[in-house]
């Protein structure tokens, strides 16, 4: 089975801190995605990556950056956390062979105080 893991289930950070959210997949998938999930807004795409060292902006990239140094790992970085970044963050991956099924991690609930 495909497994997508995220480094933390719950995280509490202070305003202005630099925050790293890590995502690792074990199925040699080409494509990886970061979403945030908020009540009433559904899932919104932050960034995605089709290959190592490649990144593309999603719908709401402001305030975030990403890093993909290895194929299996995709990191989301909040350069200076703000309270409006309190949210559930979900990572996903796909094989890149147009299977279109995204495999999701369990999510990280981030609270910025």
Partner 1 sequence: GDSVTQMEGPVTLSEEAFLTINCTYTATGYPSLFWYVQYPGEGLQLLLKATKADDKGSNKGFEATYRKETTSFHLEKGSVQVSDSAVYFCALTLNRDDKIIFGKGTRLHILP
49 is a site residue for partner 1 (CB under 8 A): no
107 is a site residue for partner 1 (CB under 8 A): yes
Rounded Cα distance between 1 and 9, Å, is 21
Per CB under 8 A, the segment of 14-22, 60-68, 69-77, 103-111 that binds partner 1 is 103-111
Instruction: Provide the greatest CA pair distance for the chain.
Output: 41
85 is a site residue for partner 1 (CB under 8 A): no
Rounded Cα distance between 87 and 14, Å, is 14
Select 91 or 112, whichever has its Cβ closest to partner 1.
91
**Listed residue (72, 85, 84, 78) closest to 28, CA to CA:** 72
100 is a site residue for partner 1 (CB under 8 A): yes
């Amino acid at each position: 089975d495909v497994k997508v893991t995220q480094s933390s289930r719950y995280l509490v950070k202070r305003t202005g801190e630099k925050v790293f959210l890590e995502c690792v997949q074990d199925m040699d998938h080409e494509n990886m995605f970061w979403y945030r999930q908020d009540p009433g807004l559904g899932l919104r795409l932050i960034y995605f990556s089709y290959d190592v060292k490649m990144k593309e902006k999603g719908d709401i990239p402001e305030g975030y950056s990403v890093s993909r140094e290895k194929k299996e790992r995709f990191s989301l970085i909040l350069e200076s956390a703000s309270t409006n970044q309190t949210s559930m963050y979900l990572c996903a991956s796909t094989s890149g062979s147009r299977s279109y099924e995204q495999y999701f991690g369990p999510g990280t609930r981030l609270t910025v105080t």
